[in-house]
Structure 1
């Protein structure tokens, strides 16, 4: 499993001629890193003087945000693995024999399944990564002020995860023949990307304002 690699080995594998892991897995990893980084900000906040001065509901929001960010991190690790598995499965499908009508049928079905997974998994990464933005808002507004730059990096990683995942969706959309369905998927991608960029801009403006 990719998550069991040592960091250097993972980077070496990523940089090799092997097509997987690739951009889709790295998009999921970016979201995972964002989850971990915002968790760090919350951990550096909880128990500190300013945190103890917050009203109980706000302290509970921070506590819950920490717990949920950790759960999202685990989910993104799983999606990283699934993205690579889906790609390799699709490659295997293309290599299936096609000498008889039965073989051709089985091959087409396998390719269709692989294409669907290659669309669904990165889109799920993008949709899930977008759900991290509220935690970023909480971290920036109420987190440890000395870690606000870390929160900013986490925000940038969220956008990178979303944009990267959607690029992987779009490249797999190219193989779809149904023009209406194709346009629908592209519109969904562009809408999510636009929302993400708007969210990032608002949060980064808040961060920049606190750094002046």
Structure 2
């Protein structure tokens, strides 16, 4: 993926028959939208009356959260690139020759590596999404009331990122033969989706309580 591309161009590529971008890239983009929205809430809070009413501990928490979200903006864009690279690498392995037994062994080895890499990217993205959730929660707790709904949107988008990533982990697990490895990954995915749902529910409950 190019470093800078217009939204129109990206949507056009996403809707085309091109191999990339795909669902993993879209999941990362959704995460970037979540972190950006959360950063916006902090930027529209810092320096405002509500911000000045907080003690230094809360102010520092908000300041640190803004910096973290700005870093996540870049990280999520990087995940878009990593997802596309992992997919193309896996497709390259599928194209390897399998005419001889040696070639078959090499191809199977490269396919396993390709699947592991292809699932590691969304797995790590899901973990990063969970870490980002704590900053979305801070935005819902202390953000400017006039943009508090944006913290809620950020929570919803982030859940989509995590659930989508876990779906992509699952599809790539289909190419892994190590059952213990698969079971371990699936258990961790179950834990992450439960934690993500808990975060989303907690944040939305808080946001709705502030807009009623």
Please classify the TM superposition score into its range, dividing by the shorter chain length. over 0.9
Q: Does 2:159 align with 1:159? A: yes
Shift of 1:63: 0.7
The 2-side partners of 1:2 and 1:11 are apart by: 14
Contact 1:27 1:160 in 2 (8 A): yes
TM-score after normalising by structure 2: 0.95
- 2:43 equivalent in structure 1: 43
Q: Secondary structure at the match of 1:131?
A: helix
Shift of 1:162: 0.2
Within 5 Å, which residues of 2 pair with 1:44-123?
A: 44-123=44-123
Give deviations 1:150-180, integer Å, cap 9, x for gaps: 1111000110000000000011112222333
Contact 1:122 1:165 in 2 (8 A): yes
- 1:146 equivalent in structure 2: 146
The 1-side partners of 2:20 and 2:166 are apart by: 17
Shift of 1:101: 4.1
Q: Secondary structure at the match of 1:97?
A: coil
Contact 1:31 1:76 in 2 (8 A): yes
Note the residue ranges of structure 1 that are not aligned, 5 or more in a row: none
Note the residue ranges of structure 2 that are not aligned, 5 or more in a row: none
TM-score after normalising by structure 1: 0.95
Shift of 1:102: 4.1
Q: Does 2:20 align with 1:20? A: yes
Shift of 1:2: 4.1
Contact 1:79 1:121 in 2 (8 A): yes
Contact 1:2 1:10 in 2 (8 A): no
Contact 1:14 1:21 in 2 (8 A): yes
The 1-side partners of 2:182 and 2:96 are apart by: 26
Q: Secondary structure at the match of 2:47?
A: coil
Shift of 1:86: 0.4
Q: Supply the RMSD in Å over aligned alpha carbons.
A: 1.3
The 2-side partners of 1:175 and 1:31 are apart by: 26
Q: Secondary structure at the match of 1:146?
A: helix
The 2-side partners of 1:175 and 1:96 are apart by: 16
The 1-side partners of 2:174 and 2:105 are apart by: 22
Shift of 1:137: 1.3
The 2-side partners of 1:109 and 1:174 are apart by: 15
Which piece of structure 1 moves more, 48-57 or 37-46?
48-57
The 1-side partners of 2:78 and 2:180 are apart by: 31
